[in-house]
Amino acid sequence: MRASDVVLSVRQRRQPAAFEIWQVGERVASIDNPVRIAILRAVEEKPRTLGDLVKLTGKAKSTLSTLHVKPLLQLGLIAEAADPADARIKWYRLEARRLGASAVGQDQLRTAVLEYARKAGLMPLRTLLEVIDVAALAKGPPAYAAAVGARIGTHLSRVLAASGGATRAQELDAILQRENLGRVHWKNDRAHPQSATKAQEPFLKALVAAAMTPPAAPAGSHDTASASSPSPAPPGSQA
């Protein structure tokens, strides 16, 4: 084992990470698999061959290539190139940059951050509503108003602390009242929105439906990637 590999191994033991955040272009990926983190840390120092990565991780070549290197390639975090002198040898280089790491698990950290954001009022809902102008929005096509409401509701769903039911409806109701958007009542195991005006009903119904749906936990591995999603097309624009 080379001296640099020893340094890398010691560094990893001293800085255990439950997950790390990496960015390539506009895409951000959350990696919580320790083997994939080790690969990224290794190629962060310098390009590595698959043989190098096998020695560093202690994993079989087939396992490493299929279960760990391939997903990182698909996410665009690393790139593969053949050795100029021997095409059978593949080199892997880093394409992303590390934004940060946490020794706290994603679920635990997310709960703490969202709870802080909720208590501190960090959800910029008021600013969003000032920019959007709900009253003017309600005068346009209902489908467009509903699309905007659904997007705002999706963001709200990540801030609400209650997991569902009447408690979540009460929390959302307090926000809607504060922003003069209307009310939401919990009746017969359902959330019933009550908009401030008839014209705002499509907007509020979509917002409440999205906000009342807790964010789904990713299936399988928690390694995820996200990119900026497009805004709904304004009325009259082409898809």
Tokens of 36: 């994939």
- d(CA 72, CA 41) in angstroms, rounded, equals 12
**Residue-wise pLDDT tens for the chain (239 aa)?**
444 443 344 344 444 567 888 888 877 788 889 999 999 999 999 999 999 999 999 999 999 999 999 999 999 999 999 999 998 999 999 999 988 777 766 666 656 655 655 555 455 566 667 667 778 888 888 898 899 889 888 888 877 766 778 888 988 888 888 888 889 999 888 999 998 788 889 999 999 999 998 876 544 455 655 544 444 555 554 44
Own/partner long-range contacts of 136-141 (Cβ < 8 Å, ≥24 apart): 137/203, 138/197, 138/199, 138/200, 138/202, 138/203, 139/199, 140/235, 141/235
**What is the model's pTM?**
0.46
- d(CA 72, CA 120) in angstroms, rounded, equals 36
Question: What is the model's pLDDT at position 7?
Answer: 37
Question: What is the model's pLDDT at position 1?
Answer: 45
Residue spans per domain, the chain: 3-102, 110-215
CATH topology assigned to domain 3-102: Arc Repressor Mutant, subunit A (1.10.10)
Tell me if 60 sits within 8 A of 110, measured CB to CB. Answer: no
Q: What sign has the CA pseudo-torsion 151, 124, 174, 158?
A: positive
